[in-house]
Amino acid sequence: MRRTRSWHVDAPPDRLWRVLADTARFNEASGLGKYQLEELPQADGSVLRIGRSRIMGFGLEWNERPYEWLEGSHFRQTRLFRKGPFSRFGISAELTPEASGRTRIDYVLHGEPANIFGHALVALRQIDRAFRHMGMLVETASRHAEAGEPGPAPFEMPTVELAPGGRERLEAARGRLAAGPYGHGLADRLATLIAGAPDVDVEQIRPLKLAREWGVSRLAAVELALAATREGMLRLSWDLLCPRCRGAKRSVAALDQLPRGAHCPSCNIDYGADFTENVELSFRPAPSIRPVLAGGFCIAGPMSTPHVVMQQILAPGETRELAAPLPPGRYRLRTIDPGETAEFEHDGGALPAFVADASGARLDAVGPAIRLANRDARERVLVLERRDWRSDALTAKAATALQAFRDLFADQVLRPDEDVAIDSVALMFTDLEGSTALYQRIGDGAAYNLVRDHFAYLGEAVRRHEGTLVKTIGDAVMAAFADPAQAVAAALSVQRHVGEFNARQQDAAIRIKTGLHVGPCIAVTMNGRLDYFGSAVNLAARLQGESGGGDVVISEALAADPAVRPLLAPFRLSDERARLKGFAEPVPFHRLTQDALLAN
């Protein structure tokens, strides 16, 4: 059995790809139910994937063969059935560029009946009806791409069913969210998403992806999701992602439940938790408002892992050449099973050959096209992925360095006996110049109120720049930022606008001392809150001690960060060096004077 259709569309392949390769959305729009996947490690290191579902009254069970695709060019999959009316069933799509930015789409449905029921489905034209409906979805997606509309194709989706009383709970929570400081005018939009979006859009809500799709700031989207969780609209999840396939293999509701490691049955490897790399905070609707069933509509399709550019199945000894360009960028080559990986930078010119062998994946001699080879004695699946996979991932490192997270989820801490290494955190320490004299000059009560107001002033600047106030120590503040550039921007803002703060004070003016550094540290729970420790923390505190007030003292490491350099380019920095307590050698640093800050 084979059914084919072709279309000529006024849109380039890359624009069509994002809607046609969204196979999970296609399956949900087609009325197919979710399926469960069991992954069974095999003796040779590979993984047998068994899918189970029901459709049209039939209980189905099949071997889930990996999808094959090349971004912007083609995708295909075949399922080998153990139970059901067909012995095999599959679909493929080819996108061929034509003149004037047009694309030819070739869509193919193929299968082989296994019994009388399968032959009856073919004879009664049930398969033809299903294929016509899929053709209608292709046409809808194509029109969407031709119009250049953003976002997913506007398929007619099954009606969303909320929990009993869910709509009332949603409306009440929406009102509270809209009235609070973290709604950002987005509460109605989030409520509409929860109440009406298809499952594929809400089974894992990623705030950074939402920010990109909605055209709002990343901070606004994250704060919205955090506050919506506190109001009962969403439920948060700490997902422990596999470092190979990036799938969430363990998920927990609280940081102190986070395991130190997990096993990925998809890749057949054990791996650890890394706050920077593979612990992600995601969200889904609260079950009391909208239950979302377990399983997936297409668990491993191209858009389920959009950072994967290519995935190809190669038989033993097979070689293959793909006639499609590879955009410049940083890539990693791996096999779908455990083994060695290879990273490379592609400048748009010649490409290395991609080779799978018994040890894993490696690169070979360069050539003009994408060339693949399997030099192993068994079938291998080669995967090529972009290294920017974290662009939409709200990592634990980033989430816990946000003020909204600390404000709303102070109870989300690590286990008392646990510490977590973080590869890099930007730290800012501040203090008031001459605070002892300030108390003597204006009195304890007035000085206390001034210090309290200055904490609020600092807190607003830190929050606006996606950081968090970790703690106050007397009149001093320790703040942390996941992004080094945001830390420097916050410090510059504090010193540039302190004059406006002082203009609102009646009793006295303040001068703020600031010191900043970036480096690795450990996160721990201390006094019931998340805190940071390590030599990087100590150095940032010592650099604050070198500040004279009104200036910004920045470590050499922080000033050299690629994202920080443009912020400092307008300034003439002093090059200084000092012996700091706890450091054996003199420490180099840079200073931005108050005059230089106010002049730029």
Q: Look at the chain and report how many structural domains it folds into.
A: 4
- Which run of H or of E encompasses 354? strand 351-357
Residues 384 and 339 in one domain: yes
Instruction: Answer whether residue 206 is part of any domain.
Output: yes
Instruction: Answer whether residue 319 is part of any domain.
Output: yes
Q: What is the pLDDT of residues 567-594, one digit of tens each?
A: 999 998 999 999 999 999 999 999 998 8
Distance CA(468)–CA(381), nearest Å, equals 43
Residues 170 and 266 in one domain: yes
Q: Which sign does the torsion angle of CA 497, 503, 505, 510 carry?
A: positive
Range with top average pLDDT, 49-63, 76-90, 500-514: 76-90
Residues 199 and 264 in one domain: yes
CATH of the domain at 79: 3.30.530.20
Q: Report the pLDDT averaged over residues 482-508.
A: 93
Structure-token pair, residue 509: 């003016």
Q: Report the pLDDT averaged over residues 413-421.
A: 87
Q: Report the pLDDT averaged over residues 382-388.
A: 92
Residues 456 and 585 in one domain: yes
DSSP code at position 340: B
Instruction: Answer whether residue 160 is part of any domain.
Output: no
Residues 105 and 18 in one domain: yes
Structure-token pair, residue 537: 């923390």
**3-state SS string over 96-129?**
EECHHHCEEEEEEEEEEECCHHHHHHHHCCHHHH
The residues, any chain, with a CB within 8 Å of residue 461's CB and separated by 6 or more, are: 490, 493, 494, 497
Q: Which of 70-74, 517-521, 523-527, 540-544 has the lowest mean pLDDT?
A: 523-527
Give the residue from 272, 245, 252 showing the smallest Cα distance to 261: 272
Structure-token pair, residue 157: 């989706």
Residue 571: strand, helix, or coil: coil
The share of the chain scoring above pLDDT 90, in percent, equals: 76
Whether the per-residue pLDDT at 196 is higher than 80: the answer is yes
Q: What is the pLDDT of residues 135-147, one digit of tens each?
A: 999 999 999 999 9
Asked whether the beta carbons of 403 and 490 are under 8 A apart, the reply is no
User: Among residues 358, 390, 422, which one ends one of the domains?
Assistant: 390
Instruction: Answer whether residue 397 is part of any domain.
Output: no
Residues 386 and 440 in one domain: no
Q: What is the pLDDT of residue 82?
A: 95
Q: What is the pLDDT of residue 183?
A: 96
Whether the per-residue pLDDT at 599 is higher than 80: the answer is no
Give the residue from 42, 28, 311, 293 showing the smallest Cα distance to 152: 28
Instruction: Answer whether residue 351 is part of any domain.
Output: yes
Q: What is the pLDDT of residues 303-346, one digit of tens each?
A: 988 899 999 999 999 999 998 888 999 999 999 988 999 999 99
The residues, any chain, with a CB within 8 Å of residue 434's CB and separated by 6 or more, are: 511, 549
Residues 425 and 568 in one domain: yes
Asked whether the beta carbons of 290 and 168 are under 8 A apart, the reply is no
Residues 527 and 427 in one domain: yes
Distance CA(9)–CA(569), nearest Å, equals 47
Whether the per-residue pLDDT at 249 is higher than 90: the answer is no
Structural domain including 210 reads 166-290
Residues 588 and 481 in one domain: yes
Residues 484 and 347 in one domain: no
Q: What is the pLDDT of residue 384?
A: 96
Residues 214 and 82 in one domain: no
Q: What is the pLDDT of residue 506?
A: 81
Distance CA(79)–CA(99), nearest Å, equals 35
CATH of the domain at 537: 3.30.70.1230
DSSP code at position 395: B
452-465: string of b/e by CB count within 10 Å (b at 16+)?
eebeebbbebbbeb
Instruction: Answer whether residue 297 is part of any domain.
Output: no
Q: What is the pLDDT of residue 534?
A: 94
Distance CA(343)–CA(361), nearest Å, equals 10
Distance CA(553)–CA(578), nearest Å, equals 12
Instruction: Answer whether residue 153 is part of any domain.
Output: no
User: Among residues 79, 113, 146, which one ends one of the domains?
Assistant: 146
Instruction: Answer whether residue 358 is part of any domain.
Output: yes
Residues 480 and 591 in one domain: yes
Structure-token pair, residue 393: 């991932």
